[in-house]
Structure 1
Amino acid sequence: MGEEPRKAKLMVAIDESMSSYYALKWVLQNLKESINASGNPLYIFMVQPPSPISLSVFNASVAHARLPCPILTNTEYSNSFQDQMVSKGILEKAKNICAIHGVKAETMAEAGDPKQAICNAVKKHNISLLVLGDPEVGKIRRALLGNSSSHYVDNASCSVLVVKKPE
C-alpha cells in the first residue's frame, strides 16, 4: 500500500510587533480549514532574548587556576524574568486569538538568536510552512542591513510565507 500523505504543519513566528499579529490573523482567516483538516495544531513560536549572564573569574584553591563562574545579578535576573513573563503573555494572547477563530494552537518559546532559533524549531518540529510578518523597517534600513525574511527563505528547511501588512 502507498504511504499516507504527510499532514501539513504550520508555524507562525511572532513577537510583539503588529506585523506578526497581522500574519497570525491572516493565517487564521485564510488557512483555517487547512489547519483544522490536517489534525495538527497551529504552532506559534516566539524567540526570547538570551539570558544575560555575567562571567566572573575567580582563583580556585588548587593550583591557582582561573575558572569562569556564571553569576546572575539581581537586575539581570529581574530583566530575564520580565522577558519570560512578557513572552508568556504574548504567546497566551496569540493562543486566545486562535481559540476565538476555532483553531487549536500550541505555543513554543526558545531563548537565543531569532534567525537560528526559528530555523532550528522548523527542523525540530518538521514544519511544512513557516509564516512570518513582514518586518516593520524602513526602506533605507532594509537596503543597508538586509531583510531578515530573506534569511528564512534561504535557510529554513520548509516553505516560507511572508505576510505583508497593508499600508
Structure 2
Amino acid sequence: MENQKKKIMVAIDESEYSRYALEWALQNLHASIANNQLLVFTVQPISDYSYLHASAYGATPPELIRNIQENQKKVALNLLEQAKELCKKYGVTAETITEVGDPKDLICEAVEKSKVRLLVLGSHSRGALKRAFLGSVSNHCVQNVKCPVLVVKKTA
C-alpha cells in the first residue's frame, strides 16, 4: 500500500480562478504531484430546460436538449484538454474525469470513489452575501470530503 501512488485531484470549471488554482498547484506542489497521480475533474451542470419554449405539441424539442447537452460535453472535454496541456508544460501527466450534475456533490463523490488524498480547488472570492445565496462549492467540499482540501485564492 505504501508503494501506491497517492491521488491528488484538482477540480476545475471554466473560471479563471480554477485555472489559476491548477497552475498554482503545478508550480508550488510540483514534486508532490509529479511523484503521485493527478486527477483533473470537471462537472457538466444539469441544465434547466424549462426556459425553452414549448413546441406546438407542448414539449421541449428533444433534439434541442440533446444539442445543448452535447455542447456542454464538448465544452467540458475542451476544458479538460486545456488542463492536460497545461500539465504537460510542467512535465505532469494528468488523468481527466468529467461528470454531469451538481458540482458540490459530484466533487465530494469523486474524492471518495477515487480515494483522493488531497483536493485542490480555486476560490471565486465571493463575499459572504453572495456565498449565502449562491453557495460555495469550495466551502461545501471543505466541510464534506474526508481528505485535506487546499483552496487557492487568486491574488491581485
Instruction: Give the alignment's TM-score, normalised by structure 1.
Output: 0.79
Pick from 42, 48, 54: which aligns with 1:46? 42
Aligned to 2:144: 155
> Displacement, 1:114?
0.7
Instruction: Name the CA shift for 1:144/1:117 in 2 (closer, same or farther; >3 Å).
Output: closer
Which residue in the other structure is 2:67 paired with?
Answer: 78
**2:32 maps to which residue?**
34
Aligned 8 A contact 1:52 1:76 in 2: no
Task: Return the alpha-carbon distance in structure 1 between the equivalents of residues 107 and 26 of structure 2.
Answer: 20
- Deviation of 1:35 after TM superposition, in Å, equals 1.5
In proportion to residue count, which structure has more helix? Answer: 2
Q: Does 1:130 align with 2:119?
A: yes
Q: Amino acid of the residue matched to residue 37 of structure 1?
A: N
Which residue of the partner structure matches residue 109 of structure 1?
A: 98
Q: Which residue of 2 aligns with 1:120?
A: 109
- TM-score scaled to structure 2, two decimals? 0.85
Structural mapping, 1:7-18, within 5 Å: 7-18=5-16
Where structure 1 has 5 or more consecutive residues not aligned to the other structure, the ranges are 55-70
Report which of the two structures shows the higher radius of gyration computed on alpha carbons.
Answer: 1
CA contact (8 A) 1:128 1:159 kept: yes
Long gaps (5+) in structure 2: 51-59
Q: Which residue of 2 aligns with 1:57?
A: none
Q: Once the 2 structures are TM-superposed, how far is the Cα of residue 5 of structure 1 from its aligned partner?
A: 6.0
- Give me the identity figure in percent: 48
Alpha carbons of structure 1 residues 72 and 159: separation in structure 2 relative to 1, 3 Å = farther
Looking at structure 1, the residues matched to 101 and 135 of structure 2 have their Cα atoms a distance apart, in angstroms, of 20
Give the CA deviation at 1:145.
4.7
> How much has 1:142 moved relative to structure 2?
2.4
Going from structure 1 to structure 2, the CA distance change for 1:117 and 1:72 (only over 3 Å counts) comes to farther
